[in-house]
Structure 1
């Protein structure tokens, strides 16, 4: 959608008399013939006070397609399976961010520096706005079950608990599988 003059609707102008394209009514001056006296200036009335010209300060609204980008995720120890489950089943909390607003505490640690940089306006920009979403994820290790890691996150039906093997248990399973494969390879070599 092209920006339009707020006064006469000329496309690609966003006028106020200083548009990129001269608007056909005001010729980029910002004033136009008084509609009350048709620009004659013969009738002294309040609108143009007898000058025949009137200045109407209107505000042009420029719309454009927003550019979207992703913020890099921090390199925390959240396994891929847990991230995938949270992405699909989690209830995310939306938040709106601007360059003037202070970041919320839970966004500051991991994303603060990169978000603040992205929210700074460029030259000739008035402000920036970003819509983000976040979710709180709890990683729980219970002493009675050290081979399991529990991930708890909010879902539509209440808190959702995802149980995954711990990193130590994953290495143990990997070692057992590799050992079994080596044993099978040795047996296959010995048997003609």
Structure 2
């Protein structure tokens, strides 16, 4: 009788996927990243992508999950969160972002892009005026 045994071990590699632009301001991304309740999902090469992942990330994930030469399969774990962006006509200079947290839904209020540009223009105008006053005072 002949007994042959072999064990193949391989340490999985971990990498991050470059996410497409989402149009969400940096402050909102940071708050959601730190306080949001993320839902993990497990993916393999032949699994259908979840609805939340299909639109923006589908092509990238399918390419990354495709097995290479001499590979049996690939597996990935992704986290996602649902984020609602709400603009209300009664408050045209505010944008509301709603996302789930362990305590319940959280609402983050940020200035709209138009309001941000207005504030930037006012600040730049004030700085230019101060520079002009300082130049004439000297």
Q: Same fold (TM over 0.5)?
A: yes
SS at match of 2:107: strand
Match of 1:148 in 2: 94
Cα displacement (A) at 1:189: 1.3
SS at match of 2:56: helix
Match of 2:130 in 1: 184
SS at match of 2:92: coil
Q: Compute the TM-score of the two structures, normalised by the length of structure 2.
A: 0.94
SS at match of 2:79: strand
Deviates more, 1:137-146 or 1:68-77: 68-77
Q: Compute the TM-score of the two structures, normalised by the length of structure 1.
A: 0.68
Match of 1:70 in 2: 16
Question: Is the radius of gyration larger for structure 1 or structure 2?
Answer: 1
Matched, 1:97 2:23: no
Cα displacement (A) at 1:115: 0.1
Task: Note the residue ranges of structure 1 that are not aligned, 5 or more in a row.
Answer: 1-30, 33-54
Deviation digits for residues 87-106 of structure 1, max 9, x if unmatched? 10010000000011110111
Match of 2:31 in 1: 85
Partners in 2 of 1:82 and 1:62 — Cα distance? 45
More helix by share: 2
Match of 1:128 in 2: 74
Cα displacement (A) at 1:63: 2.6
Partners in 1 of 2:81 and 2:119 — Cα distance? 31
Q: Higher relative contact order by CA 8 Å / sep ≥ 6: 1 or 2?
A: 2
Deviation digits for residues 53-91 of structure 1, max 9, x if unmatched? xx67x6x55332211111111112111111111110010
Match of 1:19 in 2: none
Q: Which consecutive segments of 4 or more residues in structure 1 shift more than 2 A?
A: 60-63
